[in-house]
């Protein structure tokens, strides 16, 4: 027989203080789903793009200077992954995502990183971030091939 | 802007990246959320939560000296937590499955992957407003009910058959 202590206590939503009162909740939902709210948000985000692109270039420089310091590589590539697409640098974001997943997966299976592969990713991130109109077919092709290469290395590492 | 419903809402952004804080603030402002505080890590955020009421928290995962997971655990479980029920949306680029599960088990209300879009952020806030979740308190967890979906065709053992015997009002 389960003791009373082991039983989960369920606290229903109407039994704890909610974020908004009911009248405000109805109006808030309307606001969140309104086209004009989406338009205002789009304008607000677009206004941030120049600052975000500048920030990404700073992260790229830090990434390139990190060398074999994988902690910095990991942190800066995550920053880039988090920002790039919002700043309109879709390919840069995709390549940073490939690098992040590679580092994370290798750490999870406790295998050493391939420094050459990391350097290749860093180099491509830098080129993509700096290139005018980097989100081209060529950029997509490079990202796809890099993803395939990383996937193969991960598979090899998992088997090895 | 007509009355948006958020006039009295106080939000707290916990994020170590200043650019992301600015971006989140701008997006929240566009929905009429104007009362916004921010903190650059979980430790500072805990202090702010004790000093100022907050109705909604947007929180990054990787921060120093206190990350978003520890911050969430402290908000949910600390004896002196000012609001253990506050909705916490975790916003992070760390989207690996085990990290999402760690966030869920720490007690986050919603999870949002970077890169963020206004649409996705508003959808998470709407979810909190429209479908607030029950909270569960058991020996090793306190937070929003982690079971988000009911499986109609579930054929396994009903492990919490007697879980729902005790409902409490904490207001």
- Kindly report, residue by residue over B137-147, the tens digit of the pLDDT: 998 999 999 88
Q: Which residue out of B23, B59, B88, B100 would a mutagenesis test of the A interface target, given it has the greatest number of A Cβ atoms within 10 Å? A: B23
What pLDDT shows up at residue B29? 96
Q: Which residue out of B3, B31, B34 would a mutagenesis test of the A interface target, given it has the greatest number of A Cβ atoms within 10 Å? A: B31
Q: Say which range, A118-132, B20-34, B49-63, has the weakest mean pLDDT.
A: A118-132
Domain hosting residue A116, numbered range: 50-159
Q: Is the pLDDT of residue A156 over 90?
A: no
Q: What's the per-residue H, E or C state across chain A? A: CCCHHHCCEEECHHHCCCCCCHHHHHHHHHHHCCHHHHHHHHHHHHHHHHHHHHHHHHHHHHHHHCCCCHHHHHHHHHHHHHHCCCCCCHHHHHHHHHHHHHHHHHHHCCCCCCHHHHHHHHHHHHHHHHCCCCCCHHHHHHHHHHHHHHHHHHHHHHHC
How many other CB atoms sit within 10 Å of the CB of residue B156?
A: 6
| B9: chain A residues, CB-CB within 8 Å | 19-20, 24, 28
What pLDDT shows up at residue A144? 81
Q: What is the ipTM of this complex?
A: 0.83
Domain count, chain A: 1
Look-up: residue for tokens 């990190």? A66
Question: Nearest Cβ partner of B167 from A10, A37, A47?
Answer: A10
With respect to residue A67, please indicate whether it lies within any of the assigned structural domains.
yes
Rounded to a whole number of angstroms, the distance from the CA of A93 to the nearest CA of chain B is: 9
With respect to residue A73, please indicate whether it lies within any of the assigned structural domains.
yes
Q: Is the pLDDT of residue A56 over 70?
A: yes
Look-up: residue for tokens 């650019």? B19
Partner-chain contact B23 A52, CB within 8 Å: yes
Rounded to a whole number of angstroms, the distance from the CA of B162 to the nearest CA of chain A is: 7
Q: What is the pTM of this model?
A: 0.85
Superfamily (CATH) of domain B10-165:
Response regulator (3.40.50.2300)
Distance CA A152, CA B103 (A): 30
pLDDT digits (tens, 9 = 90+) for B44-92: 999 999 999 999 999 999 888 999 999 999 999 999 999 999 999 999 8
Partner-chain contact B168 A51, CB within 8 Å: no
Is the four-CA dihedral B148, B154, B157, B162 of positive or negative sign? positive
Partner-chain contact B20 A83, CB within 8 Å: yes
With respect to residue A18, please indicate whether it lies within any of the assigned structural domains.
no
E strand segments, chain B: 10-14, 35-39, 56-59, 88-92, 110-113, 135-138, 141-144
> How many Cβ pairs within 8 Å bridge chains A and B?
176
Residue count of chain A: 160
What pLDDT shows up at residue B157? 56
Rounded to a whole number of angstroms, the distance from the CA of A138 to the nearest CA of chain B is: 22
What pLDDT shows up at residue A125? 92
Question: Closest Cα partner for A36 from B117, B118, B22, B116?
Answer: B118
Tokens of A69: 């310091």
| B32: chain A residues, CB-CB within 8 Å | 31, 37
What pLDDT shows up at residue B165? 44
With respect to residue A105, please indicate whether it lies within any of the assigned structural domains.
yes
With respect to residue A114, please indicate whether it lies within any of the assigned structural domains.
yes
With respect to residue A37, please indicate whether it lies within any of the assigned structural domains.
no
Partner-chain contact B96 A104, CB within 8 Å: yes
| B85: chain A residues, CB-CB within 8 Å | 11, 16-17
CB–CB of B76/B112 below 8 Å? no
Tokens of A1: 């027989």
DSSP strand pairing (B135-138 vs B141-144)? antiparallel
Partner-chain contact A83 B167, CB within 8 Å: no
Partner-chain contact B115 A8, CB within 8 Å: no
DSSP strand pairing (B10-14 vs B56-59)? parallel
With respect to residue A60, please indicate whether it lies within any of the assigned structural domains.
yes
With respect to residue A127, please indicate whether it lies within any of the assigned structural domains.
yes
What pLDDT shows up at residue B153? 65
CB–CB of B136/B146 below 8 Å? yes
Give the rounded distance of the alpha carbon of B88 from its chain centre.
Answer: 1
pLDDT above 70 as % of chain B: 84
Mean pLDDT of A39-56: 94
Partner-chain contact A29 B130, CB within 8 Å: yes
Question: Nearest Cβ partner of B19 from A27, A51, A93?
Answer: A51
């Amino acid at each position: 027989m389960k003791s009373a202590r082991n039983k989960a206590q369920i606290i229903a939503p109407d039994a704890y203080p909610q974020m908004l009162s009911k009248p405000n909740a109805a109006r808030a939902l309307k606001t969140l789903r309104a086209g004009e709210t989406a338009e205002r948000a789009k304008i607000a985000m677009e206004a941030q793009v120049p600052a975000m692109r500048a920030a990404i270039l700073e992260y790229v420089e830090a990434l390139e200077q990190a060398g074999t310091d994988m902690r910095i590589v990991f942190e800066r590539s995550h920053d880039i992954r988090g920002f790039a697409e919002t700043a309109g640098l879709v390919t840069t974001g995709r390549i940073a995502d490939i690098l992040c997943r590679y580092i994370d997966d290798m750490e999870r299976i406790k295998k050493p990183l391939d420094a050459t592969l990391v350097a290749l990713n860093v180099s491509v991130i830098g080129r993509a971030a700096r290139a005018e109109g980097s989100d081209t077919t060529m950029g997509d092709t490079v990202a796809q091939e890099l993803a395939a290469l990383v996937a193969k290395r991960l598979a090899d590492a998992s088997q090895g | 802007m007509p009355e948006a419903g958020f006039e009295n809402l106080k939000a707290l952004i916990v994020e170590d990246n200043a650019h992301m804080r600015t971006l989140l603030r701008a997006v929240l402002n566009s929905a009429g959320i104007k009362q916004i505080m921010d903190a650059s890590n979980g430790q500072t955020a805990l202090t702010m939560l004790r000093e100022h009421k907050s109705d909604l928290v947007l929180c990054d995962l990787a921060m120093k000296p206190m990350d978003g997971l520890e911050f969430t655990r402290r908000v949910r479980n600390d004896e002196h937590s000012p609001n253990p029920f506050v909705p916490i949306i975790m916003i992070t680029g760390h989207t690996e499955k085990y990290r999402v599960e760690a966030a869920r088990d720490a007690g986050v209300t919603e999870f949002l992957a970077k890169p963020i879009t206004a649409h996705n952020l508003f959808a998470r806030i709407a979810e909190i407003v429209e479908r607030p979740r029950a909270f569960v308190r058991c020996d090793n967890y306190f937070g929003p009910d982690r079971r988000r979906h009911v499986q109609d065709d579930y054929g396994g053992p009903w492990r919490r058959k007697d879980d729902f015997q005790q409902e409490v009002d904490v207001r």
